[in-house]
Amino acid sequence: MKLKIREALEGYTFSTPAFLLLFLVLFFPFVYVIYISFFAKTFGYEPVFSGLKNYMEIIRDPVFKYSLYISTLYTAVAVTFKLILGLAFAILFAQEFKGRSIVRTVAVIPWGMPLFVVAAIFFWFFDYNLGLANIILKSILGLKLFWLGPELVVFSIIYVNVWKGIPFFMVNFLGALQTIPRSLYEAAEIDGASAWQRFRHITIPGIKYVMLIVCLLSTIWTFGEFDTIFFLTRGGPGYLTHILPIYIYHQAFSNFNIGTAAAASVVTVPIFLSLISVILWALRR
């Protein structure tokens, strides 16, 4: 009995610092955001309790509704393209060819670049007058496009995200592909399976768990992305690329409504929680 108490005491002693750290770093800010979302609060002023007013405000705000819509669209399209292209590149780079290791290394570079650098590169790439995109277009087709203008801006930010994100998918898929026994493909080939059948019945089942986890992680990251879009468009033109993190930033630092910004953050929590639950569920399986 004494031993059990001592063991328990030891356990608590060792785990307490970790719990304290977790509480301070993760749990406390989270609880504080929930707390402040029920207050009218601006910088330098004492918070005043306002109940659900902040939540009502953001629910009524058409910009918030649009932000939810554009964040979902941006995430869905970007992740889909990253999945398809990442898989295509992984299959391509899994083949034997001369200079494969160099090509693989080069292909990973976008993933290693800091977001700010990526944003700076594409800021100039998309510039109407000086950008490389228009220089190439003009020399081939004789036209220039407003890449960050109202018609194309959503496409452009998705393009940047896909460009940066493909290597993450590709590297993970490459790793997963190497775990599929070669003999399965050989046996299928002997049985007369077509390339599509081999892909559908051997490759996809062989990498499906990696695929699921990679997609979900990428969905979480893409949904919460701020830096690149803020640097490229600041949420504009107008509100066209006002994704949720930019909406929250503007509530805090342009409208000076910390309470509303907190409420908008809290509203996004269930979305992230459900995504995390799916990942955990997939991992358990």
Partner 1 sequence: MKEKSMGMSGEPKKVDRRSFLYVGLGAVALVAIGAAAYIAMNPPVVTQTVTTATTVPTTSVVTTTTATTVTTATTTTTATTVTTTTGVQKPKLTVLYMSTYAPAINDWLTARTLIWAAKRGVDVEISTASYMEIKPKILTGVETGNPPDLVFGGGDLVALLAEDPKSRHIEPIDDVYKELDETDMEQKLVKWYTIDGKKYAIDLALHANQVHLIKSFVKEVGRTPEELVTWDDYIEFAKEVKRRHPDMYPLGFTLGKCYDGTETWYLSWWPYGGEMCTARSSAAVKFDSPESRETLQRIVGWYNDGLINPQMLQADEMLNNNAYLTKSAAFIIEGPTPYYAAVTRNPELAGDTLLTVPPKGPKGRFTWGSQWPVYTFSAAKNKELAKDLMIFLMKDKAEYKKMILSGLMAVGPIYKSVTEELVKDKNVGHLYKVYQDALPIVTFYSYPLSEPCSAMDKVQANYLVADLFSMTLIDKKDVDTAVRTVGDQIKQIFKQTYGQ
Does 255 participate in binding partner 1 (rule CB under 8 A)?
Answer: yes
User: What is each CA distance from 125 to 134, 147, 159, 198, 242, in whole angstroms?
Assistant: 8, 9, 12, 40, 21
**Count of residues that interact with partner 1, criterion CB under 8 A:** 32
Instruction: With H, G, I as helix, E, B as strand and everything else as coil, classify residue 39.
Output: strand
* Cβ atoms 107, 167 nearer than 8 A: yes
Of the candidates 220, 247, 277, 229, which has an alpha carbon nearest to the alpha carbon of residue 69? 247
In the complex with partner 1, which residue's Cβ is closer, 149 or 205?
Answer: 149
Closer residue to partner 1 in complex, CB, 111/226 = 226
Is 35 a binding residue for partner 1 by CB under 8 A? The answer is no
**Segment interacting with partner 1, rule: CB under 8 A, options 167-175, 207-215, 245-253, 261-269:** 245-253
> Which one of 51, 56, 80, 150 is in contact with partner 1 (CB under 8 A)?
150
Contact pick of 19, 23, 32, 128 for partner 1 (by CB under 8 A)? 128
Q: Does 234 bind partner 1 (CB under 8 A)?
A: yes
Q: Is 224 in the site for partner 1 (CB under 8 A)?
A: no
Residue selected from 237, 275, 278, 282 as contacting partner 1 according to rule CB under 8 A: 237
Q: Which two tokens stand for residue 196?
A: 């599509």
Contact 93, 100 (CB under 8 A): yes
Q: Does 51 bind partner 1 (CB under 8 A)?
A: no
Q: Which of 50, 219, 228, 233: binder of partner 1 (CB under 8 A)? A: 233
Find the binder of partner 1 among 77, 256, 278, 279 (CB under 8 A): 256
Q: What are the φ and ψ backbone dihedral angles of 48, each rounded to 5 degrees?
A: -120, 125
The dihedral of CA 234, 239, 243, 248: what is its sign? positive
